[in-house]
Amino acid sequence: MKLLILPGDGIGPEITDATCAALGALDRRFGLGFDMVHRDIGLKAHADMGSTMPDAVMAEIAETEATILGPTDTYAYPPESEGGITPSKAVRTTFDLYGNIRPSRTRPGVPGMAKEMDLVVARENTEGFYADRNMFMGNAEFMPTPEVALAVRKITTHGSRRIAKVAFDLARTRRKKVTVVHKANVLKVTDGLFLREAKSMGEDYPDVEIEEVIIDAMAALLIRRPETFDVVLTTNMYGDILSDECAELSGGLGFGPSINAGDDHAIAQAAHGSAPDIAGQDIANPTALMLSATMLLKWIAARHGNNQLAAAAAHMENAVDHALGQPATQTKDIGGPLGTQAFGEAVALAIENLEE
Ligand code: NAD
């Protein structure tokens, strides 16, 4: 099975190396036949090939079932006309990866702000306020005059319904509760449409409890009582922001995994960015990318009914928890002694030695 590894910028190469060390151990233990192929994207690809997301890489993603996308320093990219293509945008729009699934939970031994939390943010991933990708043609941010800047937000029935279905299906496998987060008290038309479609979808799931919370209150309630939320269904930008808050509550941004999933394709990607402030220092926490990889393996396993791959993914998640649970093998961001590479080796060792 081919794994396409795109290290990206900043801490990307370090956390993908650590993730690959764990995946290598998983391959040896479970005989999965992984073929890990690395390709440059981001600033290195731009320097070498003139594009931060080369066409050849996009073509390879299209043909590969398992892609692991590292974080990218999009803020530092040149304009699109000069080859600065945002990889997240490119993959989410090209492959219609409309669901960004971002789980956060408290983990044994990890000192998070939340005492108890186990929730998943189901974030719409293709429209909303993302002006660089929410239009068929052109850009939804523009300046009618040098003193006026406008951005157009897109919310559609189709986009709202399909992410709502993802959220309700997910809730059925969990604690059967969906919290729809919106600002329909002010954005009556756009968030109103999203809320209407979420509620309408909820009618098909009478076994799942549905509640609605306004985004500003949600930011506070996540801090006050995070344990009361199960699946959080929301639009693109609210989901981006709230999922960083959830990751932080669970221990830090290094603990926020995700997959971008559509009907036919999914890509693993940590929720955090390229962290240029700590790049190259071997102190980044690779947990988010490791857990993103396990989410992707589970997604592929479910599609093919591949029990061995599902068991392997669960084993890798246990190994990550095992390493995080021991003071001697914790990462530096939570006060432990291990750098990025050493933590990758600790997880690899746990994969080799832990019982299934
Ligand atoms: P960031 O998520 O990169 O970093 C925010 C803070 O969290 C920093 O202090 C960083 O050191 C810390 N942090 C992040 N990941 C960590 C990890 N794995 N271990 C330990 N600490 C970690 O956000 P930012 O600094 O606002 O953005 C940096 C760049 O990343 C920008 O160019 C931004 O556009 C880009 N970005 C990319 C993605 C992506 O590729 N999916 C997501 C968000 C931001």
89/175 same-domain check:
no
Instruction: Answer yes or no: do 245 and 265 share one domain.
Output: no
Which pLDDT does position 240 carry in this prediction? 97
Residue 355 inside a domain? The answer is: yes
Say if residue 52 is in the same domain as residue 160: no
Please report whether residue 107 resides in a domain. Answer: no
Do 27 and 145 lie in one domain? The reply is no
Does residue 64 carry a pLDDT above 90? yes
Structural domain ending residue among the three candidates 250, 275, 303 = 250
CB atoms within 10 A of CB 8: 30
What is the pLDDT confidence band of residue 288, given thresholds at 50, 70 and 90? very high
Tell me which residues have their CB closer than 6 angstroms to ligand 1: 11, 15, 71-76, 88, 253-254, 269, 272-278, 284-285, 288, 333
Nearest CA to ligand 1 atom 29: 73
**Structural domain of residue 166, as residue ranges?**
113-250
Kindly name the residue from 77, 130, 205, 238 that is annotated as catalytic. Answer: 130
Residue 80 neighbours by CB distance under 10 Å? 15
41 with 137, same domain? no
Residue 130 annotated to the active site: yes
Instruction: Read off the CATH number of the domain in which 42 is found.
Output: 3.40.718.10
Q: What is the mean pLDDT of the chain?
A: 97
Is the same domain home to 117 and 243?
Answer: yes
> What tens digit of pLDDT does each residue of 245-274 get?
999 999 999 999 999 999 999 999 999 999
pLDDT of 78 > 90? The answer is yes
- Are 70 and 133 in a shared domain? no
316-341 residue pLDDT tens: 999 999 999 999 999 999 999 999 99
In terms of domains, do 231 and 307 share one?
no
3-state secondary structure of 76: helix
Give pLDDT tens digits for 219-235: 999 999 999 999 999 99
Verify that 137 and 236 share a domain, yes or no.
yes
Domain C-terminal end among 250, 276, 309: 250
Alpha helices by DSSP H, listed for 101-179, are 157-172
21 within domain boundaries: yes
Query: What are the structure tokens assigned to 190, written together?
Result: 């756009």
pLDDT of residue 312: 98
- What CA–CA distance (Å, rounded) separates 246 from 229? 11
Residue 191 designated active-site: no
Distance in Å, CA 270 to ligand 1 centroid: 10
pTM of the model: 0.97
Residue 105: inside a domain, yes or no? no
pLDDT value at residue 29: 98
85 and 125 in a single domain? The answer is: no
- Residue 79 reports pLDDT greater than 90: yes
Whether residue 65 contacts residue 303, with contact meaning beta carbons closer than 8 Å, is answered with: no
Please state the domain count of the chain: 2
**Which strand ranges, in their side-by-side order, compose the sheet holding 118-124?**
35-38, 2-6, 66-69, 266-269, 259-261, 99-105, 118-124, 231-234, 177-182, 209-214
Last residue of a domain, one of 219, 250, 281: 250
Q: Which of 34, 42, 35, 39 is nearest to 11 (CA)?
A: 42
* Coil vs helix vs strand at 279: coil
Q: Is 244 a catalytic residue?
A: yes
Nearest CA among 104, 98, 50, 41 for reference residue 73: 41
Helix (DSSP H) and strand (DSSP E) numbers for the chain: 11, 12
> What's the whole-number mean pLDDT along residues 118-142?
94
- Pair 191, 270 in one domain: no
Res. 122 pLDDT band, cuts 50 70 90: very high
For residue 356, pLDDT beyond 90: no
Domain assignment of residue 104, yes or no: no
195 & 240 share domain = yes
Q: Is residue 108 one of the residues assigned to a domain?
A: no
Nearest CA to ligand 1 atom 42: 273
Does residue 314 surpass a pLDDT of 90?
A: yes
The residue among 115, 356, 349 whose CA lies nearest residue 228 is 115
C-alpha distances in angstroms, 291 versus 130, 246, 271, 285, 298?
Answer: 26, 15, 11, 11, 10
- What radius of gyration, in Å, describes the C-alpha atoms of the chain? 20
At residue 132, the pLDDT reads 87
